[in-house]
Structure 1
Amino acid sequence: MEQGNVFFFGPFRLDTQKKQLYREDHELALRPMAVAVLHMLIERGGELVTKTELLKHVWAGMYVTNTVLRVCISEIRRALADNAATPRYIQTVGREGYRFVNQTKEEELVSVPEEEETRGEFIVGRECEVQQLQRRLTSAERGTRQIVFVTGEPGIGKTTLVEQFLAQIPTRRGNKIGRGQCLEQYGEGEAYLPVLEAFARLCRESGGSHVVTILNRYAPTWLLQMPSVVPQAEFAALQQRVQGTTHQRMLREMAEAIEALTATTPLVLLLEDIHWSDYSTLELISYLAAQKERARLMVIGTYRPAAVIGGHPLKGIKEELQARGRCHELAVPLLTEREVETFVSHCFSQNPSAVKLASVIHRRTEGNALFMVNVVNAVASQKMAHTNGHQEPWDSIVDFDVPVNLRQIIEQQLEKFTIEERHLLEAASVAGTEFTAAAVAVGVGREALRVEEICAEFVRRQLFIQERETADWPDGTVSARYGFIHTLYH
């Protein structure tokens, strides 16, 4: 909805005259170029806006690459808490461009009550995982490079964990934190996209001039890919300096720039969803890990194990680094029933049924953090809807739907499997949360040995199922038994 120079959508409003984005009454940090991109997309709501149109309109008369636009889109999505895989506002249309879709529901247009606001900020568990990250940071501060892969299924809370850790880093001492987001792309994708985003942000933050100086001296090829932080008068000269750049030179430049940048202060580089990363970024991570020179560097990469299947390059790179002791993996666990109880009790502290409700929610969600929060929000909405005094008992509410965004992520994973693998999983889900290979073999009309081979491969790749004890059938058949990792997959 538009009112003069202000556009309203969901809990947000964009004031085009002030060039400012708001969430309710709170200002959101968004650069002028990103505001201009969002403005153009909103004005053309529902229409495809090509990359060429956006570049010509927003950066008229300037030479910029698609990388700059992608960084802008990523910045907008971060401000809107949007997701490229399941967009509510900004949809990627193949390789052509973007579309403003505004998929918010009517109830999402209402301001969030104070009780619900605190629910999203309260975090339970993860103390042990945060401590592990803090120990890695301590090693990095002493000059030992740290590469940490934070892994877990969709919705388990990888980003929340990392952000909780980053919030505890004292930036007042000059510690720098760079954030880059990998996006699911068609084809090969733009090289080094999340790294360029992270360093472009560092260049624009307080003390960013020092980062620009370091890049200009040690990594001019990289700086050229960030035209928004280079004065226009210096751009042509920079282009002349980097003519004939090779792939190997870019790796060497960034390694030297990081060593210079971390000579006095640590740098934490967060790269999210690296299962979508371009190969060049993964190669850079491997290259940085292999360097023997001291650097106060900590690289954190988050990814979903189920997305790293087959010949995915991340799988080989991670295994090689692990074999050489050059990286660490931190698997984020499901929340325990006690942790779910703590969360629910915090959200509904005035209700005596909170403990019973927590038990129901844990059984339904099995401790998946995002699923749990969605269920709590649904319960809160039902609670607020009952105004006639006949409130439904919370402990009887058990049929909560899997959140749409999680369901879509799981469906995307299934699409990458073969038809045989999908048929096997469908038959297994009919058999129950636990099943035997022999029972599934009957359901799909295949040999039990073949079913066991496929299941063993799923287990090895930590996809959907895990091994249980063997099962003895009445006819003497001994069959392998498996169970779904989480109720989300059943």
Structure 2
Amino acid sequence: MQQISVSPVFVGRDPELTVLLDALRRAGDGQPQTVLIGGEAGVGKTRLLEEFLRQACHDNVITTVGGCLEVGAEGLPYAPLATALRRLHRGLGAELEAAAAGMEGHLARLMPDFGEADGEPNDEYGRARLFEHTARLFERLGTDRTLVLAVEDLHWSDRSTRELLAYLVRTLHRARVLLVATYRSDDLHRRHPLRPFLAELERLRTVQRTELERFGPVEVAAQLAGILGTAAPDRELVARIHRRSEGNPFFVEELATAFREGCSAGLTDSLRDMLLVRVEALDEQTQRVLRIAAEGGSYVEHALLAAVLDDEEELIASLRAAVGANILRPDTDGDGYRFRHALVREAVSDDLLPGERHRINRRFAAALEADPHLVGSDVRPARLANYWYHAHDPARALPTALEAARAARRRNAFAEQLRMLERALELWDEVSEDVLEGTLRPHDWAETYPPCSCDADRHNAGCARLCLIDVLAEAVVAARRSGDRERGLSLAKRALKLVDETGHPARAAWFRINRARMLGHLRRSGDEEEIAYAHRLVEHLPPSAVQAEVFALGAGSGMLSNPRPELVELAERAVRIAREVGAHAVEQHALMTLSGLRNDLDSDPETAVAQLTAAVEATRRIGAPDVLLRGINNLSSMQRGLGRAEEAAALAREGLESARGNGLQRNIGTILTGNLAEALMDLGRIDEAERVLAECDLIGSTGTHAEFLDRMRGELALLRGDLAGAAALLAQARAANRIGQLQHSVPIARLALRIAVGAGRPLDARAELLAALDEDLRCGYLADLYPLLVDGAAAEADSRGLPEADPGRAAVLARIASTAAALTPTVPLHHGWARLLEAELARAEGADTPEHWAGAVATLRPTGLPYPLAVALLRAGEAEVLAGRRESAVELLREARELASARSDARLRAEVDALAGRAGLAVAADRPLPAAAVPAGESLGLTPRERDVLRLLARGCTNRQIAEELYISPKTASVHVSNILGKLAVAGRGEAAALAHRLRLFPEDLSPVGR
């Protein structure tokens, strides 16, 4: 059974599609247009054209396509025009014949279906007449509709076809015609005849030229999702296919097929054959140069190639041929060459015989060792290590791999460092011990990694030989820093099997805490057990950097799961020990934890901010980038929690920039991205937050903090009114938050509550709230707890009077109040949320007053944060309406609507509009309303009878009860209920009832005594 490798989902290309659709619109207005679409083979030109033609094909547009054929140096004369006209004839029949009336003899030269060609001579005048009659035919066809003529593979076109197309472009001035042509840009060598043709057309005002770029990781992920039929393809698979395909959509499809066929490591035979077609068309000497260049690397210097090959003149001739065939391209940044696509290089390399490959790499290695200046100093260690490795010379490959790992670490290239260290581990058993002499220097030790006690003297003096356990330690740190924590766990497990924890407890503890850190980042259980084990190993040892780090990590882990006073003492102990032994990075790490604990546990957050800021500044001076980023991240979170979203956003941006510059983006970039997006959302800059999340490259990030970004995307979907999308992202966030840290679980619970409210499920909203309150919320996270409590109280207030929600409400409100009573607001934002909560609790009992809401507005306004203020303004406006103060209500609701619109809060804006509609208040220029109040429900499009039915439905009546009350049949009641559900855009009776209560469509039903 044949499997489809083409993605059924059209991916990306929105800007290019917009260009085509805009050109179609202008052509429809009588302004003929031409769009030229270029791109390399496989980049998606045909797919874009197909999608455009599908969208363009409606009653007032007719489309036709013709393709140029590759026959010899140039294609068949007029082939694409003949094909296009033939397709038009099949579609239009007599209409096309009528348009060609009187010109059949001329047009027969293009399409024999028109009959016999006239007997005029085939001179230059006959050619001109053919061109003129073709233009006239298209003008006639474009009289009552828009004609789209698409020509594919223009790089194979013949001169006559190009000249006819140029004539049409220049002479069709008023016809409703759009010409679209595609061509392969990688086929256009310097002397290709299409080059001057394109340059000539591009000067015309009606011609647009666009080049299709390769896909980025996000588009590749979407393409793979369509091909594989899964909503979220494995991130590692996406990363691997994006890296190998370099974003070429055709190669993505072929590699996806190879993956499904179990050929994930290499290329399928069919793909390899396609990639080698151009190579095999070249002469043997050029093919030999390409085979050597393929082993030289993704970029190979001309001088290095010349050193490997003997005859430079022959080399230049071969390189010129390879560049002319668009297989190699000169590099713009240096004196060397690159394969136009990495997969071509891979195919050429794979086609080598084993011995041939070893010999070529040995020649590269020997040439580079003889003259190190043939390549740049920054890439020399890695290149030399690669050449010796592929030359199958372990004695030279292992030392050069270790040296390349050191060089990569100096450049903060941790992924490359890990790759080289793993190569050293692979070769370890193949090399004799004397090869390792002199490979260890004092600075080679990984972070706080301790030497064996028996090796202490050798370490201090400069050890003569490196041990396997030392390489494993370096590899563990490189894996953690590069974000490859799965591999780091495996390496640490291997190392622990080699360590005698009785003889070397500190060394065993070091590997334990590294495992703990990676388990924590991966949201897996077991990290606390690893920390406790390490604590027992070092508890009674003399002070050391490892002991300080164990204590600091224990305090930090506890801060995330359950901040408590005893952790402060542990963090202070870690600070003292680190300071005593001179472990400066560990000292600052412990101070950062200490400031976080004090922020959570004390009532003086300013002191905590000052301490954390000081630790960040001290870390800048000592040069520990991963510790610095942890501090910046924590300071950003702390500032946001205190209501300082601008400061939080600035810090998160700084952290992201530093992470990119230090090779740590995969390590901590995800959570910094989440911090930035969250701060921007607090500030109401929703579009900017959406861009930040869209730009975040999660590809290959091993899912660390994926729950954070999934939750943020869910928040955005909810703001946009996409309940289904928000619910799907909520499910993803919950699945990723396996450990359930409060910093994630509380906001996730709040999102779930708000989704349930938006879907009209008040009991589900209540369940979400109670489940969250069952967690240990004794301290910390006020910035998350207060909003959760406010939303929970608001949900209870919105459902007041709903029969199924009334039982148990008093107990829930008491639970909310008791939880709030245990919180101590310390900054204006916390006080504002507390006042808002007080007002919502009163509203839930029908006892709120304008003064409640005015107090909340006054407290929240100085914070500058739009969301809680907009909610307070809405409720204050509602209270003013009920109090009969319409003018003040208009001002309050207008401001609430402006804030909701600025932050793209569709639900809140709709609630403002619904309230204004019921009260007859004009709060927006685009929604004028009469001065008189609009009857309840009329603003939602309900008829008077439907409003009567909805009133009873909101009271919990069945269809039969509604029928009896209104003296109608149950069937008629059912029809009215169905109409109501459709007009309110809700899924069921419960949602409709909840919406009626939330919008207060029938306020007299909420309480027998009113307000």
Measured against the shorter chain, the TM-score band is 0.5 to 0.7
Structure 2 unaligned regions, length at least 5 = 346-1011
For 2:344, the equivalent position in structure 1 comes to 489
What amino acid is aligned across from residue 178 of structure 1 in structure 2?
A: T
Q: How does 1:29-428 map to 2 (within 5 A)?
A: 110=1, 112=2, 116=3, 120-173=7-60, 175-186=61-72, 190-205=76-91, 207-218=92-103, 220-223=105-108, 225-227=110-112, 229-230=113-114, 235=115, 238-239=116-117, 241-245=118-122, 246-291=126-171, 293-325=173-205, 327-348=207-228, 354-382=234-262, 397-401=264-268, 403-404=270-271, 407-408=273-274, 411-412=277-278, 415=281, 424-428=289-293
Aligned CA RMSD, in angstroms, stands at 3.4
Q: Partners of 2:214 and 2:326 in 1: how far apart?
A: 15
**Cα contact 2:214–2:246 (8 A) shared by 1:** yes
**Cα contact 2:68–2:154 (8 A) shared by 1:** yes
Q: Shift of the alpha carbon at 1:192? A: 0.5
Q: Shift of the alpha carbon at 1:167? A: 0.6
Q: Partners of 2:12 and 2:153 in 1: how far apart?
A: 22
What amino acid is aligned across from residue 439 of structure 1 in structure 2?
A: L
For 1:38, the equivalent position in structure 2 comes to none
What amino acid is aligned across from residue 243 of structure 1 in structure 2?
A: E
Q: Shift of the alpha carbon at 1:200? A: 0.9
Identity of aligned residues (%): 26
What amino acid is aligned across from residue 225 of structure 2 in structure 1?
A: S
Q: Shift of the alpha carbon at 1:428? A: 2.6
Q: Shift of the alpha carbon at 1:302? A: 1.6
Q: Partners of 1:447 and 1:469 in 2: how far apart?
A: 22
For 1:467, the equivalent position in structure 2 comes to 331
Q: Partners of 2:276 and 2:198 in 1: how far apart?
A: 23
Bigger CA radius of gyration: 2
Q: Shift of the alpha carbon at 1:224? A: 5.4
Going from structure 1 to structure 2, the CA distance change for 1:419 and 1:352 (only over 3 Å counts) comes to closer
**Cα contact 2:33–2:177 (8 A) shared by 1:** yes
Alignment deviations for residues 71-125 of structure 1 (CA, whole Å, 9 cap, x no partner):
xxxxxxxxxxxxxxxxxxxxxxxxxxxxxxxxxxxxxxx3x4xxx5596422222
**Cα contact 2:74–2:156 (8 A) shared by 1:** no
Q: Shift of the alpha carbon at 1:181? A: 1.7
Going from structure 1 to structure 2, the CA distance change for 1:149 and 1:402 (only over 3 Å counts) comes to farther
**Cα contact 2:301–2:337 (8 A) shared by 1:** yes
Going from structure 1 to structure 2, the CA distance change for 1:216 and 1:256 (only over 3 Å counts) comes to same
What amino acid is aligned across from residue 152 of structure 2 in structure 1?
A: E
Going from structure 1 to structure 2, the CA distance change for 1:189 and 1:164 (only over 3 Å counts) comes to closer
What amino acid is aligned across from residue 484 of structure 1 in structure 2?
A: F
Q: Shift of the alpha carbon at 1:465? A: 2.3
Alignment deviations for residues 311-368 of structure 1 (CA, whole Å, 9 cap, x no partner):
3321221122224456332211111111112232344466986222111111121121
Q: Shift of the alpha carbon at 1:463? A: 5.8
Q: Shift of the alpha carbon at 1:159? A: 0.6
Q: Partners of 1:409 and 1:276 in 2: how far apart?
A: 19
Q: Partners of 1:414 and 1:199 in 2: how far apart?
A: 37
Q: Partners of 2:129 and 2:288 in 1: how far apart?
A: 47
For 2:734, the equivalent position in structure 1 comes to none
Q: Partners of 1:325 and 1:428 in 2: how far apart?
A: 44
Q: Partners of 1:483 and 1:126 in 2: how far apart?
A: 27
Name the structure with the higher strand share: 1
**Cα contact 1:371–1:402 (8 A) shared by 2:** no
What amino acid is aligned across from residue 210 of structure 1 in structure 2?
A: E
**Cα contact 2:67–2:80 (8 A) shared by 1:** yes
Going from structure 1 to structure 2, the CA distance change for 1:159 and 1:334 (only over 3 Å counts) comes to same
Q: Shift of the alpha carbon at 1:143? A: 2.7
Compute the TM-score of the two structures, normalised by the length of structure 2.
0.31
1:433 paired to 2:322:
no
Q: Shift of the alpha carbon at 1:157? A: 1.4
Q: Shift of the alpha carbon at 1:202? A: 0.2
Going from structure 1 to structure 2, the CA distance change for 1:282 and 1:467 (only over 3 Å counts) comes to same
SS at structure 2 position matched to 1:301: strand
Going from structure 1 to structure 2, the CA distance change for 1:445 and 1:331 (only over 3 Å counts) comes to farther
For 2:620, the equivalent position in structure 1 comes to none
Going from structure 1 to structure 2, the CA distance change for 1:279 and 1:352 (only over 3 Å counts) comes to closer
Alignment deviations for residues 443-469 of structure 1 (CA, whole Å, 9 cap, x no partner):
44455999599679949x976425243
Going from structure 1 to structure 2, the CA distance change for 1:264 and 1:443 (only over 3 Å counts) comes to farther
Going from structure 1 to structure 2, the CA distance change for 1:119 and 1:442 (only over 3 Å counts) comes to same
Q: Partners of 1:194 and 1:352 in 2: how far apart?
A: 41
Alignment deviations for residues 176-195 of structure 1 (CA, whole Å, 9 cap, x no partner):
21111211113665321110
SS at structure 1 position matched to 2:76: coil
SS at structure 2 position matched to 1:121: coil
**Cα contact 1:361–1:398 (8 A) shared by 2:** no
What amino acid is aligned across from residue 356 of structure 1 in structure 2?
A: E
Structure 1 unaligned regions, length at least 5 = 1-109, 383-393, 471-479
Q: Shift of the alpha carbon at 1:279? A: 1.6
Q: Shift of the alpha carbon at 1:399? A: 1.8
What amino acid is aligned across from residue 266 of structure 2 in structure 1?
A: D
Going from structure 1 to structure 2, the CA distance change for 1:449 and 1:226 (only over 3 Å counts) comes to closer
Q: Partners of 1:466 and 1:138 in 2: how far apart?
A: 41
**Cα contact 1:125–1:339 (8 A) shared by 2:** yes
**Cα contact 2:279–2:287 (8 A) shared by 1:** no
Q: Shift of the alpha carbon at 1:197? A: 0.8
Q: Partners of 2:167 and 2:338 in 1: how far apart?
A: 39
Q: Partners of 1:334 and 1:225 in 2: how far apart?
A: 36
Going from structure 1 to structure 2, the CA distance change for 1:467 and 1:350 (only over 3 Å counts) comes to closer
Q: Shift of the alpha carbon at 1:436? A: 1.4
Q: Partners of 1:275 and 1:409 in 2: how far apart?
A: 19
Q: Larger deviation: 182-191 or 248-257?
A: 182-191
Q: Shift of the alpha carbon at 1:223? A: 3.3
Going from structure 1 to structure 2, the CA distance change for 1:328 and 1:219 (only over 3 Å counts) comes to farther
Going from structure 1 to structure 2, the CA distance change for 1:351 and 1:196 (only over 3 Å counts) comes to closer
Alignment deviations for residues 259-304 of structure 1 (CA, whole Å, 9 cap, x no partner):
2222222211111112222221111111112226222222222221
Going from structure 1 to structure 2, the CA distance change for 1:149 and 1:464 (only over 3 Å counts) comes to farther
What amino acid is aligned across from residue 375 of structure 1 in structure 2?
A: L
Q: Shift of the alpha carbon at 1:411? A: 2.3
Name the structure with the higher helix share: 2
**Cα contact 2:322–2:328 (8 A) shared by 1:** no
Structure with greater contact order relative to length (CA < 8 Å, sep ≥ 6)? 1
